[in-house]
Amino acid sequence: MPTVTYAGHDVTVNDEGFLTDPGQWTEEMAPQIASAEGIGELTPRHWQVIRFMRAQYQAKGTGPTVRVLGKTSGVTVKELYQLFPKGPAKVAAKIAGIPKPRGCI
């Protein structure tokens, strides 16, 4: 597993760049991960999604899919894709330091 340094801390990530241990994540790491995903600045709307992903993961052990995000996060599907053009659930999960959500829909 590769090791990368975010916000001065070494963390291990998988081949796709997702943190292997969500416990290693801190909010300070988010902007750097986002920047690597092509998101220059994290707005309060980005943070709403990131914190929601994190909370859902802690409650359920898995992050929500885009459809679930659109129905429950308070951010519409259209806006989700504007905030995270490369895939809202996938990219927000990576920035939130949680595993990539599984699920086909």
Partner 1 sequence: MGTAIEKVSIIVSKGSLEGIYPALIMANGARAEGIEANLFFTFFGLDAVTKKRHEHVKVATVGNPGLHLATIVGALPGMPGLMTSYLGHKMAKLDIPPIPEFIELISDSGAGLYGCQASCDLFGITKDDLIEQVQGIITVGEFYAMAAGGQIIFT
Residues 17-46, interacting with partner 1 (CB under 8 A) = none
**Contact yes or no for 79/86 (Cβ under 8 A):** no
**Of 9 and 67, which CB lies nearer to partner 1 in the complex structure?**
67
**Residue 22 burial by Cβ neighbours in a 10 Å radius (0-12, 13-18, 19+):** middle
- Choice from 46, 54, 90, 94 touching partner 1 (CB under 8 A): 90
Options 18-26, 27-35, 43-51, 67-75: segment touching partner 1 (CB under 8 A): 67-75
104 binds partner 1 (CB under 8 A): yes
- Tell me phi and psi for residue 45, to 5 degrees: -70, -40
Residue 92 CB, nearest approach to partner 1 (Å): 11
Options 4-12, 42-50, 51-59, 89-97: segment touching partner 1 (CB under 8 A): 89-97
* Catalytic residue flag (residue 10): no
19 in the Ramachandran plot: left (φ > 0), alpha (ψ -120 to 50) or beta? Answer: beta
Q: How far apart are CA 30 and CA 54, in angstroms?
A: 12
Could you list the active site residues?
Answer: 104
